[in-house]
């Protein structure tokens, strides 16, 4: 049995038998699975798959779509095979490929949006979206259609815009965003974040704006900023947005008595947690939304979990961290990669900061880079003997060095400037910038110029990173730390998953 429009229907053996040649052409051994997918279609479409499926499969093969992808299309989007190729698949693939998509990229659109074959043509929506993208982009000479193709390559499910929204409905939604105060460039930027913004009717957006006005006192200017910077908010329900707005004004974690947990670290990683109800208040909540509108797209439990983990790590005032860096609330602080970053900064920075200090000062570096980058670069500097060149604030250290040089040299010619490397450089510098900093530091410290540049590059070092005992110890400690933190958190803060 399968469900068709909410009702159970039988899958007959005759259907499976008739579909066997098509399944074979698409490389699918499980014919029963194909039969179940086709049985969920309306009667005439089932007949259409039997009549036209092999021809459509041959057409797709002729486009260069490989058998594995044809198989995925058949299982996920059987309606594509239910009409003559020249009538539906040929028309739609041709229109997508005209936008600059390859056949395989066009096929991914159908894999993501299984109702796409119900559209007779994508042209009406293309006629609305292409001029908008051209007007709102620094196109570099690319046409609106090419820009729309670029969008679909990155967001294949965005083909939904071409399917469900005819010219009038889509144009009405675009016009509403412009009337709210967004520029065409802002609409395009928001569209690149989340194509679903253009599926939200004016009435829905008006209700969400009213929620923010009622709960936070937000004005139209802030609402426009939210839509521009956090387009996913438009997909929230009124209740969800209200809950998040209220939570911003009163973020609370129940007072929980916890023992100290050391997480196999030379320094205690966490301290007793007692976090009473604390309030941001309307004014502070408005400021944070203005700085980081994405907060309204994040489940409240994610915020509360982050606050609790920070407190477990010894941060005495987690809300102060939020005020300084609101986006840190959006990350999964129970991810082993994040804890590995924290432990590496604790153990390898020369000034040996506490876990609390690392979160307060370097929270973005703990949360943002993958451990393979941040931990890897720190271990690389350790291998090269350059950890002592690390400084917390490069500008301040340079200024201090210049002042001391002036006092000591009394006007004599200055010696070469030391090659400082900041924590920012380790976490954020590009590959080329980091390599240049390492080269300069080695050159300053080495007495033998022939040895400079003889060290392996970071890229070469990274190939064996996970085999290093130092990496393996850090990663094991991070995983153990996550397990112990989870034991200390209340069950309500462990519900669901966090993707950031």
Concatenate the DSSP letters of all residues of 375-424 into one string: HHHHHHHHHTT-GGGEES-HHHHHHHHHHHHHHHHTTSPPPPPP--EEHH
Is residue 271's pLDDT more than 80?
A: no
Band of residue 273 on the pLDDT scale cut at 50, 70, 90 = very low
Rounded percentage of the chain residues whose pLDDT exceeds 90 = 63
- Distance (Å, whole) CA 86 – CA 67: 20
More confident residue, 89 or 445: 89
Contacts by residues 166-171 (CB-CB < 8 Å, ≥ 24 positions apart): 166/124, 166/125, 167/124, 167/125, 167/127, 167/128, 169/201, 170/124, 170/125, 170/128, 170/129, 170/198, 171/128
Q: Are 52 and 19 in contact (CB under 8 A)?
A: no
DSSP structure class, residue 118: G
Q: Are 441 and 463 in contact (CB under 8 A)?
A: no
Is residue 256's pLDDT more than 50?
A: no
Nearest one of 110, 131, 97, 120 to 166, comparing CA atoms: 120
- Distance (Å, whole) CA 97 – CA 343: 49
Q: What is the pTM of this model?
A: 0.73
Q: Which of 149-158, 294-303, 331-340, 368-377 has the lowest mean pLDDT?
A: 294-303
- At residue 378, the pLDDT reads 96
Q: What is the pLDDT of residues 420-442, one digit of tens each?
A: 899 999 999 999 999 999 988 88
Is residue 212's pLDDT more than 70?
A: yes
More confident residue, 409 or 180: 180
Region 65-70 average pLDDT? 96
Band of residue 262 on the pLDDT scale cut at 50, 70, 90 = very low
Is residue 269's pLDDT more than 60?
A: no
Contacts by residues 349-352 (CB-CB < 8 Å, ≥ 24 positions apart): 349/387, 349/390, 349/392, 349/423, 350/387, 350/388, 350/390, 351/392, 352/267
More confident residue, 141 or 432: 432
Which secondary-structure segment (H or E) carries 34?
Answer: helix 31-39
Is residue 351's pLDDT more than 70?
A: yes
- At residue 264, the pLDDT reads 42
Q: What is the pLDDT of residues 142-188, one digit of tens each?
A: 999 999 999 999 999 999 999 865 678 899 999 999 999 999 999 99
- At residue 416, the pLDDT reads 58
Is residue 82's pLDDT more than 60?
A: yes
Band of residue 259 on the pLDDT scale cut at 50, 70, 90 = very low
Q: Are 441 and 419 in contact (CB under 8 A)?
A: yes
- At residue 272, the pLDDT reads 37
- Sequence-distant (6+) residues with CB within 8 A of 43 are none
Which tokens in the block code for residue 222? Answer: 């802030």
Region 344-360 average pLDDT? 95
- At residue 458, the pLDDT reads 93
């Amino acid at each position: 049995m399968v469900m068709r429009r909410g009702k159970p229907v039988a899958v007959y053996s005759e259907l499976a038998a008739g579909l066997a040649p098509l399944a074979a052409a698409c490389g699918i051994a499980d014919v029963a699975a194909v039969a179940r997918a086709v049985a969920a279609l309306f009667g005439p479409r089932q007949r259409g798959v039997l009549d036209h499926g092999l021809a459509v499969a041959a057409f797709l093969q002729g486009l260069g779509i490989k058998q594995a992808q044809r198989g995925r299309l058949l299982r996920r989007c059987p309606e594509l095979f239910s009409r003559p190729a020249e009538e539906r698949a040929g028309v739609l693939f041709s229109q997508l490929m005209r936008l600059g998509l390859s056949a395989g990229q066009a096929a991914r659109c159908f894999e993501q949006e299984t109702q796409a074959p119900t559209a007779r043509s994508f042209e009406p929506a293309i006629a609305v979206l292409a001029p908008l993208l051209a007007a709102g982009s620094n196109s570099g000479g690319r046409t609106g259609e090419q820009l729309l193709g670029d969008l679909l390559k990155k967001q294949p499910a965005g083909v939904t815009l071409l399917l469900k929204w005819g010219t009038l409905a889509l144009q009405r939604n675009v016009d509403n965003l412009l009337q709210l105060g967004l520029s065409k460039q802002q609409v395009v930027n928001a569209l690149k974040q989340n194509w679903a913004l253009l599926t939200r009717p004016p009435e829905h957006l008006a209700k969400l704006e009213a929620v923010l006005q009622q709960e936070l006192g937000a004005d139209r200017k802030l609402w426009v900023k939210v839509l521009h910077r956090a387009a996913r908010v438009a997909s929230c329900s009124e209740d969800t947005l209200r809950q998040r707005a209220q939570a911003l004004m009163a973020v609370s974690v129940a007072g929980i008595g916890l023992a100290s947990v050391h997480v196999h670290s030379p320094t205690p990683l966490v301290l007793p947690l007692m976090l009473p109800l604390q309030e941001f208040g309307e004014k502070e909540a408005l400021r944070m939304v203005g700085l980081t509108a994405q907060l309204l797209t994040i489940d409240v439990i994610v915020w509360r979990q982050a606050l609790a983990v920070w407190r477990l790590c010894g941060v005495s005032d987690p809300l102060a961290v939020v005020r300084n860096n609101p986006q840190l609330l959006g990350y999964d602080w129970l991810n082993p990669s994040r804890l590995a970053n924290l432990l590496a900064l604790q153990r390898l920075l020369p000034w040996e900061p506490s876990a609390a200090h690392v979160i307060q000062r370097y929270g973005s570096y703990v949360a943002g880079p993958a451990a393979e980058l941040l931990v890897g670069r720190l271990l690389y500097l350790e291998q090269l003997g350059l950890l002592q060149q690390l400084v917390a604030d490069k500008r301040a250290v340079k200024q201090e060095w210049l002042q001391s040089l002036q006092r000591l040299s009394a006007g004599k010619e200055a010696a070469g400037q030391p090659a400082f490397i900041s924590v920012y450089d380790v976490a954020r510098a590009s590959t080329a910038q980091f390599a240049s900093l390492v080269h300069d530091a080695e050159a300053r410290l080495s007495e033998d110029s022939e040895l400079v540049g003889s060290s392996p590059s970071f890229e070469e070092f990274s190939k064996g990173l996970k085999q290093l005992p130092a990496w393996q110890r850090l990663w094991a400690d991070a995983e153990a730390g996550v397990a112990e933190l989870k034991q200390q958190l209340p069950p309500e803060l462990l519900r669901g998953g966090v993707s950031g």
